[in-house]
Amino acid sequence: MASDLGLAERANDLLFARTYEQGGNVSLVDELLDVAEALGMQRGAVRRELLRGDGGALRASVLERDAAAKQRWAGLGRVVGLRIQAVPHFIIAAGPASRTKYALNGAHQTSDLLGAMERVAAEESLAGAIAASRPAGAALPYGGLMAHASPLTASHALATC
């Protein structure tokens, strides 16, 4: 519905904020109605469309867009050989031309990410760049990986999908 009004990007932002910043549950109708209202949509009209017994045009539109997105992603996965099964999904490689790649599916500790980066770096003879970026004897705090990574590591070793 929001995309029909040119509000898809804003709706996406609000849904993510509602879920990940405010702790909301956007699978609940009232949460969706709050987001629709924030977009300037008529709460009553959106409620009627969401609660239609047959799903109506909204259901058909969602199913059509979902099928198209799955087809696009399936094609991309075949082209680049991705096997994304969870988010976040990290692909770790030494550089754009590197054949040395590792993937981490799902949430991982910072130490797992750092270990994978160090393994790639060692294989690509970049271990010194990563080692020099770590505080001596200090464990990295959760979420601090990129803050302690060298510019070389940050720009060449980690791609987040």
* Cis preceding linkage at 135, omega within 30: no
Q: Which of 118, 113, 110 is nearest to 140 (CA)?
A: 110
Mean pLDDT, to the nearest integer, of 55-67?
76
pLDDT at 49 over 90: no
pTM tops 0.85: no
What is residue 160's predicted lDDT score, i.e. its pLDDT? Answer: 35
pLDDT at 37 over 90: yes
pLDDT at 40 over 90: yes
Cα radius of gyration (the chain)? 21
Dihedral sign (CA 127, 132, 138, 143): negative
**Distance from C-alpha of 147 to C-alpha of 114, rounded to nearest angstrom:** 12
**Distance from C-alpha of 31 to C-alpha of 24, rounded to nearest angstrom:** 7
Mean pLDDT, to the nearest integer, of 75-89?
66
